[in-house]
Amino acid sequence: MSKKWTVTDIADQFEEAAQTLRRMPPVRVQGYFNAMPPVIRTAMELLQAEKLPMRLGPPSAEAISRMEEALEWIWLLEDEEERRLIWLRAERVVWKRICWRLGCGRTKAWQMWTIALLKIVTRLNAKQGGR
């Protein structure tokens, strides 16, 4: 039996897609390399160095597949503002900045976000029922 999608499932998958996209390795130009030897630092220099934030490794193949699936769902919405709103919330942008961008209050922005998610849920569930 097919899975019935809910609004929270869709919102969670969009959030995971944004995190997966952030974890993808950077694109580098091929053919360039560095021939300089690595800098060897003393123990004191290592202790005084700034601590870098710990990064997770590259995403798994399953996470990339789920991200691609969620990115295809964006095109189920006709309105560009709805697409942008869904992605801003997936990236955990605070409501205040979203409201400034849309020019409306928080309640109206939340309603627009929920309606956009409902449109995606309705279309996904209709596709599954039609098989």
- Could you tell me which of 5, 41, 11 has the C-alpha nearest to residue 110? 11
| 50 contact partners, CB below 8 Å, separation of at least 6 | none
> What span, in angstroms and rounded, lies between the C-alpha atoms of 53 and 69?
29
Give the C-alpha separation, 120 to 114, whole Å. Answer: 10
Query: Which residue shows structure tokens 């929920």?
Result: 114
pLDDT of the residue at 131:
54
8 A C-beta contact, residue 74 and residue 83: yes
Of 50, 59, 52, 63, which is closest to residue 23 (Cα–Cα)? 59
Q: What share of the chain is helix, strand, coil (3-state, %, to 5)?
A: 65, 0, 35
pLDDT tens digits in sequence order for the chain, 131 residues long: 467 899 999 999 999 999 999 999 888 888 887 788 988 999 999 888 888 787 888 999 999 999 999 999 999 999 999 999 999 999 999 999 999 999 999 999 999 999 999 999 999 999 887 65
Confidence (pTM): 0.79
Predicted local confidence at residue 52, as pLDDT: 79
